[in-house]
Structure 1
Amino acid sequence: MDWRVERLTQGLLTVFLVITLSFVIIRFMPGNPMDYILAQMSGDATGATSGEGGASGSDMEQQYELVQAYLSMNPSDPLHVAYFDYMSNTLRGDLGQSIYYSRPVSDILGRAMPWTLFVLSWGLAIGFVLGIITGSLIAYWEGSKLDVGLTAYSVIMGSIPYYVLALLLIVYMAYRWQIFPTNGRVPEGVTAGLNWPFIKGIIYHASLPIASTVVFSGIASLSMRGNAIRVLGEDYLRVARLRGLSDGVIATQYVARNAILPLYTGLMISIGSLFGGSVILETIFRYRGMGYYLVQAANARDYPLMMGGFMLLTICVVIALFITDLTYGLIDPRAGDENREAF
């Protein structure tokens, strides 16, 4: 069997198992949407207000009817019947209706997904590039004061959890010094489109969430340092110098390329932790991406939205790992040969 088909099969099986386990776990969670709605009606619940996209006021009656319809349909059905119905609807692209937001789950997640990808992709790219540059400088100037300073920076950044840095940034940069906004994705009153005020507002609101992910640069720089020092001692570099190749060619074609290879796998694997981290990160900054809506769904016991969020996060991670398998052989042909031999 071709290794690509094998990897694709493994990915599909992973998605299937995650959906199944999520369905069973959520099914047996204590509480139900009705408890949350009744608490909201009595003013006891805390959560999203109408300004955050949640149903309130005149929408409460429609929300109440949705909860009644859900409770009358699903919990009374046997587990296997409800599971079969859900999987059948999912294969048709129907993720159900959000109980809390009174909107289709696919519409909510489809609108939130680009914002999460925007923050994570820029945060990952900046952290990866910064880690490579820092690690290269540390390796080249090994033993110098620059090595000591940048190594200390890398160790500190690699040891700080991203959510701790996020809390520090929002406390000082947003609340105390009021340099950046405390919540939202775009400024209010700005017309959406390809215009500078809208683009500037997106960057402005996403700056702190993106900066929080820079902690991954510490791990990347330490890995790059170790890889570069190891490569610098290889015999083929001595041969390259004997051939009269310039330092620039040796640094880019030999040292950098071979030192970055292990980091590429770590980069793609870290996408999974970043997607999982978006749940906490977007909640801290009240940045309405997938992670934010997943937390709101958990608080409100919005089971369709929870299931859709778990499934979409799993699919994103599986796709990232599958792309890693497909592209790693292009970067390092030896890996492609090993994959073909293994399968």
Structure 2
Amino acid sequence: MRRYYLERTLQAVITVFAVMTLAFFMIRLLPGGPADALRAQLTQSNPGMSQAEITRAVQSQLNLAPDAPTYVQYIDYLGSLLQGNLGESTSQSASVASVIAGAAPWTIFVMGSALLIAFVVGISMGATMAYREGSRFDGSSTVVSILMNSIPNYIYGILLLWLLGYVFKVFPTGGRFSAGVEPTLNVFAPAETLQFVGNALWHAAMPILSVALVTWGGWALGMRGNSIQVLGEDYLRVAQLRGLPSRRIALRYVGRNAVLPMYTSMLITLGFLLGGSVIIEQVFSYPGMGYYMIEGLNSRDYPLMMGVFLVITITVAVAVYLADLTYGLIDPRASATGGGADE
């Protein structure tokens, strides 16, 4: 078992290191070169700056010395990343770390809420479909689940934006919260906190719904397949012969054993949803990490763009790593087959 954990930890470290390396070389291979582009931008906007001052500004914002050898730039870049220094954003007039720190909670809020809603709806529908296998409800629900899961979330987003945002004006078409609302999360100010949370949910409703509409179908189909497999196990027949209540059998035996295999995919899906926020946040003008990544690309703000890319890809790697380490703890069957004894 220790060997299993060691191998997974080593794989995670290598993956994160590879992501950092990829980010470094992506910066260097971008069209025109970010250092040259930033140097030209600074020269045009600050004609009084000397070349030495421009070089220092480029080094500060890109996290590397543009005139140094490649291996020196690479070492400096990794050293800065390990210290949490992602450079300076040229478009936001702030450090990249502070921009991401301000945007990440909103992306997690939207994607986490969407995943939770989709997971609950999906496993409920999937379990019902399994219990009514072969019925008209099962067949129609399976078709609907496949169709809903096949349409990209930004298509739902555009339709919802047009219908609920512009036609019926039910929800706002952009922003995190209304201009007159003060951001408040304080247990000693429950009224203000509830007003802020409610307003934030109102603004995030359409992005959450767009992602949930796509995701629930996959959970439903997965839960249906797992439940049908569990329903055919011999221990369920034994439980029925012992006279156990059907509710207990459904919840403790069928539901629990069918949901466990979906735990890993839930964590991995959360990681990938953060990456999928790039388009959906642009559709709704919702300032999260994906929104700032596109903004960085449009404004040639390479430090911001690459900083968001780095955080998103590391998040996916960490999600997979946590799924690998914790799955054996919640499902002893995986521990028995996957890790073995201490080696």
TM range (shorter): 0.7 to 0.9
Structure-2 residue corresponding to 1:213 = 211
Of 122, 136, 153 in structure 2, the residue corresponding to residue 131 of structure 1 is: 122
Q: How does 1:240-251 map to 2 (within 5 A)?
A: 240-251=239-250
Quick check: 1:85 aligned with 2:76?
yes
Residues of 2 paired with 1:68 and 1:177: CA distance? 53
Q: How many residues align?
A: 325
SS at match of 1:188: coil
Q: Give the C-alpha shift of residue 78 in structure 1.
A: 2.4
Q: How does 1:24-63 map to 2 (within 5 A)?
A: 24-31=25-32, 32=34
Residues of 2 paired with 1:139 and 1:119: CA distance? 30
Look up the equivalent residue of 2:25 and give its one-letter code: V
Q: Give the C-alpha shift of residue 252 in structure 1.
A: 1.1
SS at match of 2:339: helix
Quick check: 1:33–1:300 contact (8 Å CA) kept in 2?
A: no
Look up the equivalent residue of 1:301 and give its one-letter code: R
Quick check: 2:124–2:220 contact (8 Å CA) kept in 1?
A: yes
Q: 1:273/1:33 Cα in 2 relative to 1: closer, same or farther (>3 Å)?
A: same
Structure-2 residue corresponding to 1:318 = 317
Q: How does 1:1-343 map to 2 (within 5 A)?
A: 1-31=2-32, 32=34, 69-71=56-58, 74-194=65-185, 195=192, 196-214=194-212, 215-341=214-340
Deviations 1:255-277 (A, max 9, x none): 11111122222212212321210
Residues of 2 paired with 1:84 and 1:36: CA distance? 21
Q: 1:103/1:67 Cα in 2 relative to 1: closer, same or farther (>3 Å)?
A: farther
Q: Which runs of 4+ in 1 moved over 6 A?
A: 36-39, 64-68
- Between the two proteins, what is the percent identity of the paired residues? 45
Q: 1:178/1:61 Cα in 2 relative to 1: closer, same or farther (>3 Å)?
A: farther
Q: 1:101/1:163 Cα in 2 relative to 1: closer, same or farther (>3 Å)?
A: same
Deviations 1:235-265 (A, max 9, x none): 1111111122111111111111111122222
SS at match of 2:158: helix
Residues of 2 paired with 1:69 and 1:180: CA distance? 46
SS at match of 1:167: helix
Q: Give the C-alpha shift of residue 95 in structure 1.
A: 1.6
Q: TM-score normalised to the size of structure 2?
A: 0.87
Residues of 2 paired with 1:218 and 1:252: CA distance? 21
Quick check: 2:35–2:66 contact (8 Å CA) kept in 1?
A: no
Structure-1 residue corresponding to 2:188 = none
SS at match of 1:76: coil
Unaligned runs of 5+ in 1: 43-59
